[in-house]
Amino acid sequence: MSHRLTTPRRLTPLPWVGRPIDLLSSLVLVVALLGMASYAITVGSYPMSLAQIWQQLSADDTASSTLGGVLWELRLPRILLAILGGAVMALAGLLMQSLTRNPLAAPGLVGVEAGASVTMLLILVLWPTTLPPALYPLAALVGGLAVALFVVGLSWRRGVAPLRLILVGVGLTAMLSAVADMLITYGDIDRVESALMWLGGSLHRGGWGQVKSLAIWLLIAGAPLLFCHRQLNLLQLGDGVALSRGLNVTGWMGLLLLCSVVLTSAAVANVGVMTFVGLVAPHLARQFCGDRHGALMPLSALFGALLVLIGDTLGRALFPPLQLPAGLVVAIIGAPYLLILLARQRHR
C-alpha cells in the first residue's frame, strides 16, 4: 500500500502586504506617522501641549475658544492635508516609474504636473474670481488630463512606448514651463506672490475643503491600486512577458496612466507642486521590499505622507512666524539622500 507525500499548502498572503516583514515595516511607518502628527499638532506660532489638545478634543464646545479655533481650523486640516498629499504624490510617482520602467521618473514626467500647474496659475493670476476654490481640483484635473491625453496621442504607435512617452512629455513640460514663467513674470505682483507660495508646495492655506477633496480622489484613483499589484509586477517584466501571461498591456497601461494623472492633478490643485516626493518616496520603499508592488504601494504612500508631514512641520517650526513651503523643505532634506542612494547603486 503506497502513501503519497503531500506538501502543506502555503497560506496566501494579503494582496497588499506579501511578507510578515512588509507588515512590520508598514506598522513601524504608521507609528512614526502618528508620532510625527502628535508633534506637529503642538508646534507653530501658537504652541500647545498635548494635555491642552486632548482637552479641546474631548470638549463639547470649542468653537469660541482660541485653542479650539487653532486646533480645528488650522492644525488638524493642515496635518491631514500633508498626510493625504504625500500619499497621493508618492502613489502617482510610483505608477509613473513602473509604467515607464524608469526609476528616476516623477509624477510630472508626461506633462501632467505642468498642465495642472499652468491651469492653476491661469486661475490664480489671470482669473482669480472665475471659479470658486472648491472647483480648483476639478480645473487642475481637466488641465492635467488634457495634457496627458495630448502626450499619449503624440507618443502612440501601436501602443504606448515608455521611451516615446518620456521624450514627448519632457518636450511639452518645457513648453508649459515657459508659459508658467511668463505668467509669473508679467502677472499682478500680489497674485503672483500667492501663486509662488502655492508652487512651492505650501500648506498654509489648507482647510477641510481641500482635505475632503483629496480624500475623495485618493479613494477613487488610489485605493483600487492595492488590487492591481500583479498587473504592475508583470508590466515591470516587459511587454513580452506580460502578453505571454494574458495581460492586456495597452488597456492596463492606459488605466494606470489615468490613475497617475488623476492623483497628480488632485495633489497639485490642493497642496501645490511637490514633484520630489513622488520621486524619492518609492525609492525609500524599495529599500524595504524591492520591486514587489503588493508591498511597494502602501509603503510608498506611507513614506510620502511622512515626508510631507516632516517637511511641513519643520517649515512651521524652524523660523516662526515665517513658514517655509513643505515642498521646499522636503527637497532640501531628501535631495542629499537621493544622491547618496544613486551613488551606492552605481557601485553595485
Crossing angle (nearest 10°) for helices 20-40 and 275-289: 140
Q: Who wins on pLDDT, 12 or 213?
A: 213
**H or E element in which residue 144 lies:** helix 136-155
Would you state the pLDDT for residue 157? 67
pTM of the model: 0.84
- pLDDT tens for 178-197 read 888 888 888 788 788 777 77
Q: What is the mean pLDDT of residues 281-296?
A: 87
**CA distance from start to end of the chain:** 55
CATH code of the domain made up of 20-50+66-340: 1.10.3470.10
Q: Which of 89-93, 267-271, 343-347 has the lowest mean pLDDT?
A: 343-347
Would you state the pLDDT for residue 11? 42
Would you state the pLDDT for residue 213? 86
Residue 17 has pLDDT above 60, yes or no: no
Task: State what percent of residues in the chain have pLDDT above 70.
Answer: 89
Nearest to 213 by CA among 260, 269, 153: 269
- pLDDT tens for 230-263 read 888 888 877 778 788 888 887 888 888 888 888 9
Q: Who wins on pLDDT, 281 or 339?
A: 281
Crossing angle (nearest 10°) for helices 76-100 and 293-317: 140
Inter-residue contact 269 to 141 (CB < 8 Å): yes
Would you state the pLDDT for residue 308? 93
Nearest to 18 by CA among 303, 301, 289, 305: 289
Would you state the pLDDT for residue 51? 80
- pLDDT tens for 115-149 read 888 888 888 888 877 777 777 777 877 888 888 78
- pLDDT tens for 60-96 read 665 557 777 778 888 899 999 999 999 999 999 999 8
Residue 30 has pLDDT above 70, yes or no: yes
Q: Who wins on pLDDT, 157 or 302?
A: 302
Would you state the pLDDT for residue 2? 44
Inter-residue contact 16 to 34 (CB < 8 Å): no
Q: What is the mean pLDDT of residues 168-175?
A: 83
- pLDDT tens for 143-160 read 888 887 888 777 776 666
